[in-house]
Amino acid sequence: MNRRSVDQHAAAVAELLRPLLELPTESVPLRAALGRFLPTDVVSPIDLPNFQNSQMDGYAVESAAIQSVPVTLPVAGVIAAGLTDLPALPRGGALKIMTGAPIPAGADCIVPVEDTTAADGMVTVLRSRRTGEFVRNAGSDVQKGRPLVTAGTLLGARHVAALAAAGLTEVAVRRRPRVAVITTGTELVAAGTPLLPGQIYDSNGTALASSFEANGADVVRVAHSDDDTAAMTALLDECAATADVIVTSGGVSMGDFEVVKETLLPLGGHFGPVAMQPGGPQGLSVYNGVPVLSFPGNPVSTLVSFEVFARRPIRAISGLPALPRQTRTLTADISSVPGKRQFVRGKFTENGIEPMRGTGSHLVAGLAWADALISVPAEHTVVPAGVDVEILVL
């Protein structure tokens, strides 16, 4: 069978998922908007600040009245923050004012309390101020109708803070891609059930759901099918009704009981080897209009497949930043089979990255040890210690 390169298969996955780059928006409460992608500008419905107010605790005065100092003025009252029924400033007088309180009519500057002494209903101003000093003008932060947060922003606390300051309760963000995970294998049982001889716990469901969620997806279903095409078809029907992408694990290789391949190949799916290790057998299909990515079942192969084929496109769809290309210095030799790109589990050390010895695709605890996958190009048979290698950080 014609073996695709990793890059060819990655391009095919990206192409299949491309329509999802245009997911519609949905309105979410601000508290649920953290980490979400903003596809369009949000304009401010009000001026920020919304009214002219004081930047300091001090005295609101007319600057003309304090040009020669010291000067003593009568204090006509106090304006606290939140006061809505404002007194006007009497000519030649002062109003005590708190930070954030509205500037009274007739005042044009604030004298900070540090530059005054007060006694018997009078304030002595020790330093003159000009028009506008310590006055925050309405709209000086952002004007009504102007962009508050711009399109393309991944919302963080500072962005939702700006939206909250403008009185917004919800924001239109790009909908997360909805992912359904189907694991296959009659030998699998869910954790919580005692194992019979020959049975193993399903770890790929948890692995894939966590991987997709960590990269901005909304995992709407994690289901399991026995190696039975009728059961598999029923699950695909259910998942295709709600998900934007379906991901399957297992049942794609060359043995008997390859339920994913048996179900999807007759419907036009592409199944075949990719020149990589682990993770060689891969499938790509469309079921009821929904893209289906089919990964091999060995736990390491499944996770390597996610890292190599799904992580980047799903991040782009979710609006998360692209992952930077990274390299590290190899601390021990790697030998690799020719003709296949090898992904070797590696752990960060002070000097670079240390490759893991065992390469079995079933070594799920060994994968938990790793910090990254070291990518060894297909044409290399040996990569010596000291060389800079490309890595995928897990």
Binding residues (CB under 6 A) for ligand AMP: these are: 183, 185, 187-188, 200, 202-205, 249-251, 253, 255, 296-299
Q: List contacts with Mg ion (CB under 5 A).
A: 185, 250-251, 297
Kindly state the DSSP code that residue 90 receives in the 8-state scheme.
P
CA–CA dist 5, 380 (Å, integer): 14
Q: Minimum distance from CB of 265 to ligand AMP (Å)?
A: 15
- Nearer to ligand AMP by C-beta: 255 or 338? 255
- Nearer to ligand AMP by C-beta: 124 or 203? 203
- Nearer to ligand AMP by C-beta: 46 or 247? 247
What are the respective helix, strand and coil percentages of the chain, to the nearest 5?
25, 35, 45
Please, what is the end-to-end C-alpha distance for the chain in angstroms? 31
Find out whether 243 and 180 touch, Cβ atoms under 8 Å: yes
For tokens 């592409």, what's the residue? 270
Q: How many residues are present in the chain? A: 394
- Nearer to ligand AMP by C-beta: 62 or 202? 202
- Nearer to ligand AMP by C-beta: 56 or 274? 274
Distances (CA, A) of 293 to 208, 260, 306, 325, 333: 12, 10, 9, 24, 33
Q: Minimum distance from CB of 260 to Mg ion (Å)?
A: 8
Q: Minimum distance from CB of 249 to Mg ion (Å)?
A: 9
200's contact among Mg ion, ligand AMP, none, with CB below 5 to 8 A by partner kind, is ligand AMP
Q: Minimum distance from CB of 210 to ligand AMP (Å)?
A: 13
Q: Determine the residue with CB nearest ligand AMP.
A: 297
Q: Count CA atoms closer than 13 A to 233's CA, side-chain side.
A: 9
Q: Minimum distance from CB of 293 to ligand AMP (Å)?
A: 14
Helix (H/G/I), strand (E/B), else coil: 59: strand
**Helices within 55-200 (DSSP H only):** 157-165
Q: Minimum distance from CB of 227 to ligand AMP (Å)?
A: 8
338's contact among ligand AMP, Mg ion, none, with CB below 5 to 8 A by partner kind, is none
Nearest 5°: CA angle at 88, between 86 and 89? 130
Q: What b/e string do you get for 346-370 counting C-beta neighbours within 10 Å, with b at 16 or more?
A: beeeeebbbbbeebebebbebbeeb
- Nearer to ligand AMP by C-beta: 63 or 203? 203
CA–CA dist 122, 239 (Å, integer): 76
Helix (H/G/I), strand (E/B), else coil: 262: helix
- Nearer to Mg ion by C-beta: 184 or 375? 184
Strands 245-249 vs 290-295: parallel, antiparallel or unpaired: parallel
- Nearer to ligand AMP by C-beta: 1 or 157? 1
Number of H helices, E strands in the chain: 8, 28
- Nearer to ligand AMP by C-beta: 200 or 241? 200
177's contact among Mg ion, ligand AMP, none, with CB below 5 to 8 A by partner kind, is none
Q: Minimum distance from CB of 297 to Mg ion (Å)?
A: 5
327's contact among Mg ion, ligand AMP, none, with CB below 5 to 8 A by partner kind, is none
Q: Minimum distance from CB of 259 to ligand AMP (Å)?
A: 8
Beta bridge partners of 111: 59
CA–CA dist 374, 377 (Å, integer): 10
Q: Minimum distance from CB of 338 to ligand AMP (Å)?
A: 24
Cβ neighbours of 107 (radius 10 Å)? 24
